[in-house]
Amino acid sequence: MTRPALLRSVVTGTGSALPVRRVSNAELAEQVDTTDAWIVERTGIRFRHIAGDGETTATLAADASRAALAAAGIDATEIDLIVLATATPDQTFPSSATKVQALLGIPDCVAFDVAAVCSGFLYAVQVADSMLRTGIHKRALVIGAETFSRILDWEDRATCVLFGDGAGAIVLEGQQSDDRPTARGILATRLHADGRHNDLLYVDGGPSTTGTVGKLRMKGREVFRHAVVNLAAVLEETLELAGLTSADVDWVVPHQANSRILDATARKLGLPAEKVVVTVDQHANTSAASVPLALDVAVRDGRIKPGQLVVLEAMGGGFTWGAAVLRY
């Protein structure tokens, strides 16, 4: 039987970038009333990278993109679409995506930012995948990049210990494929939003309200509760869309907010901990950057191999949440 031809978005390269400065829990404990033991026990976090002078969301995004382009073996000028997920853009406008375009020397392409906070990369993946599958765009840079250190209240120990800065990027290319689940590329994506939960995780400022950038505020315990339920549900939903089950999964690359959320979600799905890529200990929560950063780490250290089934998932402010199933 001949299979119907269709376009799929295939990951052809991954890359990531971190600020130079790496900060340990012990160093943080010199500034706020906390301990290494509390942070490790409650979150699994040991280190985070903090952007210094000259390091911004766009410069980190451009560095991650250069690494992804090199891995894909293509020149920046072959990119015709940039979708950048961030909640910490360099400027309110123009988009950081256009800044990345300029930094990479791409004379013309479509470039825009997506705002869905910690699930921003999943939103960006679905947007880019939809655009590539029309055939109008051929090769996309899909990026998650953040400098959350600049919107943290460094006197609030309940939040400032949880976040870090960084960027991750993938090159996504539209390729002729078929409907076999063994085909490479994105097999299914699913996104959700529930705007009733604004007050559980938000920034207390913005251009149209206070005219300031604002600082991050979070009711951690309630966010935790929603995260485990939503993430397990959307993972099952997305696997079902792809005609697969958790038994087919080789790797889960989750949003890296808290190791206890990762453990609880994996347990709910009956997935062994060895299949979950964990980088939260090294990077803390880098919001939209965390999934592509973790993906790049696991590709480069040889864990994720071509042909394997990889599931990406994230949940963040809004709330927003989502998942993607892809064959690497």
Could you list the residues that contact ligand COA (CB under 6 A)? 34, 38-39, 42-43, 118, 157-158, 161, 218, 220-221, 223-224, 227, 257-258, 261, 285, 315-316
Q: Which is nearer to ligand COA, 219 or 303 (CB)?
A: 219
Give dist(CA 247, CA 240) in Å, integer: 12
- Residue 321 makes CB contacts below 8 A (sequence gap 6+) with 119, 122, 191, 192, 193, 227, 230, 231, 234, 313, 314, 315
Q: Which is nearer to ligand COA, 38 or 112 (CB)?
A: 38
**Cβ atoms 118, 255 nearer than 8 A:** yes
Q: Which is nearer to ligand COA, 62 or 122 (CB)?
A: 122
Question: Least CB distance from residue 260 to ligand COA, whole Å?
Answer: 7
How far is CA 3 from its chain centroid?
A: 33
Q: Which is nearer to ligand COA, 138 or 157 (CB)?
A: 157
Question: Least CB distance from residue 139 to ligand COA, whole Å?
Answer: 30
Whether residue 230 lies in the annotated active site: no
Question: Least CB distance from residue 26 to ligand COA, whole Å?
Answer: 13
CA-to-CA dists, residue 272 to 132, 247, 251, 263, 277, angstroms: 33, 10, 10, 9, 11
* 294's tokens: 């973790």
Q: Which is nearer to ligand COA, 244 or 261 (CB)?
A: 261
**Cβ atoms 146, 167 nearer than 8 A:** yes
Q: Is the alpha carbon torsion for 79, 83, 88, 92 positive or negative?
A: positive
Question: Least CB distance from residue 258 to ligand COA, whole Å?
Answer: 4
Catalytic residue among 49, 118, 137, 283: 118
Give dist(CA 326, CA 312) in Å, integer: 8
Closest CA to 48 of 40, 37, 58: 40
Q: Which residues of 187-203 are buried (b: 16+ CB within 10 A; e: fewer)?
A: bbbbbbeeeebeebbbb
Catalytic residue among 137, 255, 258, 283: 255
Question: Least CB distance from residue 201 to ligand COA, whole Å?
Answer: 6
Query: By Cβ distance, which residue is nearest to ligand COA?
Result: 220
Beta bridge partners, 112, equal 83
Question: Least CB distance from residue 138 to ligand COA, whole Å?
Answer: 33
- Residue 206 makes CB contacts below 8 A (sequence gap 6+) with 212, 213, 214
Strands 185-193 and 47-50: unpaired
Strands 139-147 and 81-85: parallel
Whether residue 118 lies in the annotated active site: yes
Question: Least CB distance from residue 253 to ligand COA, whole Å?
Answer: 15
Q: Which is nearer to ligand COA, 39 or 239 (CB)?
A: 39
Q: Which is nearer to ligand COA, 121 or 328 (CB)?
A: 121
Whether residue 49 lies in the annotated active site: no
Give dist(CA 123, CA 97) in Å, integer: 15
Catalytic residue ranges: 118, 255, 285
